[in-house]
Amino acid sequence: MASSVNRDRDGDRVFVLTFTLQRDRYCVRAASVDSVLGVSDDQSVATADDPWNAGTVSVAGDRIRVVDLPRAFTSSTRTINRIETPKLLVFRLTDADDAYVGWLVDDVDVTRTVRTTDLESTPTGARTAHVKGRLEIDGEEVLWLDERAIHG
In terms of average pLDDT, the best of 8-12, 79-83, 84-88 is 84-88
What's the whole-number average pLDDT of the chain? 80
Provide the residue ranges of all domains of the chain, joining segments of one domain with +: 13-151
Could you say which DSSP state residue 120 is in? B
Residue 101 phi/psi, 5° resolution?
-115, 135
Which of 54, 28, 37 has its CA nearest to residue 114? Answer: 28
Q: How far apart are the first and last CA of the chain?
A: 42
Checking if the pLDDT of 33 tops 90, the result is: yes
Q: What is the C-alpha to C-alpha distance for residues 81 and 142, in angstroms, rounded to an integer? A: 20
pLDDT tier, 76 (very low <50, low <70, confident <90, very high otherwise): low
Instruction: Provide the H-helix boundaries in the chain.
Output: 2-10, 43-46, 69-72, 147-151
